[in-house]
A = this chain, B = another copy of it.
Amino acid sequence: MRVAILGGTGDIGEGLALRWAYHTSHDIVIGSRDPQRARSKAEEYETELSSRGAETTIAAAANAEAAAGADVVVAAVPAYHLADTIEQVEEGLDGETVLVSPAVGMQRDESGMHYNRPGAGSVTALAADAAPDDVAVVGAFHNLAADELANLDIDLSLDAILVGDDEDAVDRVELLADGIDGIRALRAGSIDNAAEVESLTPLLINLAMHNDELHDVGVRFE
């Protein structure tokens, strides 16, 4: 599968790129607004992988070029850039593309981190609204522990929760998620259920703040 990670220079994008390149045979392309930055991060990831004996090529391009022709496009950008990013790349998306939204809108106050629910109902719903009608959107990878994900020394034991209205699209993302050793994909229904998934991210941050043993925390449902 060809997987484009827009915002693949950020922390969750980095972790997904490294893990997919390391654990699977998918073709990974890093997208960024700045293609030079995408290229330099892709080389950094290649060096990291090579140091572990994985001689893998990671492509790099500007976001629009990265997205064109990808089977899955992961919009690993902050929630406030999501609609703009989708608009930049939409010419390259079609009925064959699955767009994945891992972004969460959050707001910090003196108590901690809070879910900032968008008017669309969730950030995933916002992505679905911004995407062309024939592009299936799946919410996923909101709640992974980013530092653990990007550290290939760590054996993961994390759940990735998926929401989406198109079962085939969710199946494709499930395959991608399950392809990473130590990640288990779980389904939480349609995009209407995304807010409860996204709300988990600020909770994880609050738990990390208040519990010494949970610096970079993910979740397992059992």
A interface with B by C-beta (< 8 Å): 109, 111-115, 157, 161, 186-190, 192-193, 195-197, 199-200, 202-204, 206-207, 209-211, 214, 217-222
Contacts and interface: CB of A to CB of B under 8 A. Distances in A.
A176 B113 CA distance: 26
A27 B173 CA distance: 50
Contact of A206 (B115, B196, B210, B222): B196
A174 to B, nearest CB: 11
15 contacts: A112-B190, A114-B196, A115-B199, A186-B214, A187-B207, A188-B210, A196-B199, A196-B203, A204-B221, A214-B221, A217-B221, A218-B221, A219-B222, A220-B221, A220-B222
A216 to B, nearest CB: 10
A58 to B, nearest CB: 29
A188 B161 contact: no
Contacts of A220: 219-222
Which of A113, A114, A221 has the most C-beta atoms of chain B within 10 angstroms of its own C-beta?
A221
A217 B222 contact: yes
Contacts of A190: 111-112
Contact of A207 (B188, B209, B211): B188
A118 to B, nearest CB: 15
Contacts of A217: 221-222
